Structure 1
Amino acid sequence: MKHLPKYLRPRWRYLGVGIEAHPDAAVDRRSFQRDLWYAAGNLLGDPGSADVDCSVYGFSFRDGDGECVVRVRRGEVERARAVLACLDDVSGHPVRVTVRGVGGTVRACEERYLGRPLESADEKTVVHGNADRSAVVRGSRVDVRTDDGLLGATDYDYDYD
C-alpha cells in the first residue's frame, strides 16, 4: 500500500501540557488518555471528539507533577484547549491541567514547553485545625494530610515548624 501524498496527509499540532495533582495521586498515561477522551466526548460529542482527535505522547508523572504532549488536528487547537480545561480529575484524583504552549512538531513542543526540572517535594509540619499535621511542600504549594485525605493550599496559608 502506498503512502498518501504530503498534501493529503492530516496536519497536526502538539500541545505541551503540564499536570499537577496531590503527591500521592496515581496518574498514568492510560488513565489520562481515557479521561481526556471522555472529556472530549462530553464537551464536543462524538463527531466533535473525532474532529479534534486528542492523543497523548511522551507522558511523565511523578510525585504530583507531570507533563505530556497532546496531539490534535490543525485547526482544532482551541477546541482541544477547551477539552483540557474540562479535565478536572484523572482516575478519581483531582488534577490541574495547563497548556504551556503549542508546537508544529513533537520535538519543538518538547524542547520549548517540556523538560523543565520538576520541583522537589519537602515534608514539613504545619498547623491546621489547631493540630500539627504533616504536609508536602512543592514551591508555593502545600498539600496538608488530614483525616479525609490531602488538602491543597499555598504557603501563605500556613506557618511551618
Structure 2
Amino acid sequence: MKHLPKHLRPRWRYLAVAIEGWPDAEFERGDFQRHLWYAAQNLLGDAASADVDLTVVRFEFGEGDGWAAVRTRRDEVDRARAAVASVDAVDGHPVGVRVAGVSGTVRACEEKYIRNAPESTKERTVDFADAERTATVRDGRVDVPVDSAFAGATKRDL
C-alpha cells in the first residue's frame, strides 16, 4: 500500500501538559489516556472527540508530579485544550492539569515546554493543626497528610 502524498496526510499538533497530584498519586500512561478520552467524550460528544483524536505520545508521572505530550489534529487545538482541562481525576486520584504550550513536533514540545529535571521532593517535619506531622515539600508547596487525605499548604501557613 502506498503512502499518502504529503498534502493529504493529517497534520498534528502536540500539547505539553503539566500534571500535578498529591504525593501518593500513582498511575500509568494508559490510565491517563483513558481518562483523557472519557473527558473528551463527555465534553465534546462521540463524533467531535473522534475528530480531536487525542493520543498520549509521551508520559512521565511520579511522586505527584509529571507531564505528558498529547497529540491532536492541527485544526482541533482549541477543543483539545478544553478536553485536557476537563480532566480532574485519574483512577480516583485528584489531579490538576495545565497545557503549558503547543508545538508542531514532539521534539520541540519537549524542548520548549517540558522540563527535563524532575522537581525535587523533600520530606520534613512541620507544625500543622497543633501537631507535628511529616510533610512533603515541593517547590514552595507543602502537602501535609491529615487523616486519610492531604492538606495543601504553603510555607507561610506553617
Q: Structure 1 counterpart of 2:26, which letter?
A: A
Separation (CA, whole Å) in 2 of partners of 1:73 and 1:43: 17
Separation (CA, whole Å) in 1 of partners of 2:84 and 2:154: 24
Which residue pairs with 1:82 in the alignment? 82
Number of aligned residue pairs: give it: 158
Which residue pairs with 2:115 in the alignment? 115
Q: Is 1:32 equivalent to 2:27 in the alignment?
A: no
- 5 Å-filtered alignment, 1:37-52, equals 37-52=37-52
Q: Is 1:155 equivalent to 2:155 in the alignment?
A: yes
Separation (CA, whole Å) in 1 of partners of 2:80 and 2:40: 8
Separation (CA, whole Å) in 2 of partners of 1:100 and 1:66: 12
Give, in angstroms, the shift of residue 129 of structure 1.
Answer: 2.0
Give, in angstroms, the shift of residue 148 of structure 1.
Answer: 2.3
Cα pair 2:36 2:84 within 8 Å, conserved: yes
Separation (CA, whole Å) in 1 of partners of 2:69 and 2:108: 11
Local SS of the residue matching 2:78: helix
Q: Structure 1 counterpart of 2:80, which letter?
A: A
Separation (CA, whole Å) in 2 of partners of 1:64 and 1:72: 25
Unaligned residue ranges in structure 2 (runs of 5+): none
Unaligned residue ranges in structure 1 (runs of 5+): none
Separation (CA, whole Å) in 2 of partners of 1:155 and 1:33: 34
Any idea what the Cα deviations from partners look like across 1:64-115, whole Å, max 9, x if unmatched? Answer: 1111100000111111111111111111101111111110011111111113
Give, in angstroms, the shift of residue 4 of structure 1.
Answer: 0.8
Instruction: Provide the TM-score with structure 2 as the length reference.
Output: 0.96
Identical-pair percentage: 59
Instruction: Provide the TM-score with structure 1 as the length reference.
Output: 0.94
- 5 Å-filtered alignment, 1:117-136, equals 117-136=117-136
Q: Structure 1 counterpart of 2:153, which letter?
A: A
Separation (CA, whole Å) in 1 of partners of 2:157 and 2:48: 42
